[in-house]
Amino acid sequence: MDTTPVAKELPIESYIRRHADISFTDEYNCKLHRLFPWADKVNTKRSLTEFGCIWVQVDPGTDVDRHAHDEEETFIVIAGQAELSIESQTTTIGFGDVVYLPRHFQHQLRNRASEPFVMIDIYWDWGGQSDSVL
């Protein structure tokens, strides 16, 4: 008996979001392009969990609104540098840095550099429970 999975034949372009299709919204005083969930393509929200991914750009001279939320979050910096505040502490982050933010921690970014700060923001929630080690 053949147990080879049957491949679903969809056009390869249905799996790709092209750069030309990027549009940003203004949220938290910065530019956001929500990658996941991907409307009409990929639903990343489940009954007990949620996963999302956002392309974030903070323009030079811009302070992101200080905020907190009930999801855990990680930042992966892909360009520029910014001042990061978490609760009462502040440091500088730049290209290649990865940041973990536990749920409900107040945080803010400030771009004091002359070029845009760009990062990928990944967030997740496990039904209000945290597996964080911090």
Q: Which pLDDT does position 6 carry in this prediction?
A: 54
47 is a domain residue? yes
pLDDT, greater one: 2 or 84: 84
132 is a domain residue? no
**Tens digits of per-residue pLDDT, 85-121?**
999 999 999 999 999 999 999 999 999 999 999 999 9
**Span of 17-21, 68-72, 114-118 with lowest mean pLDDT:** 17-21
Residue 74 has pLDDT above 80, yes or no: yes
**Tens digits of per-residue pLDDT, 35-66?**
887 877 777 776 667 888 999 999 999 999 99
CATH number at residue 113: 2.60.120.10
Please state the domain count of the chain. 1
Nearest to 121 by CA among 36, 64, 17, 29: 36
CA gap 95, 84 in Å, rounded: 13
Inter-residue contact 120 to 55 (CB < 8 Å): yes
Q: CA 15, 78, 19 angle in degrees (round to 5)?
A: 35
Q: Which pLDDT does position 7 carry in this prediction?
A: 58
Q: Which pLDDT does position 47 carry in this prediction?
A: 66
Instruction: Please compute Rg for the chain using Cα positions.
Output: 18
Q: Which pLDDT does position 37 carry in this prediction?
A: 79
Q: What is the span of the domain harbouring residue 114?
A: 25-126
Beta-strand pair 49-58/117-126: antiparallel
Q: Which pLDDT does position 46 carry in this prediction?
A: 67
55 is a domain residue? yes
3 is a domain residue? no
For 80, residues 6+ apart whose C-beta sits below 8 A from its C-beta are 58, 94, 95, 111, 113, 115, 116, 117, 118
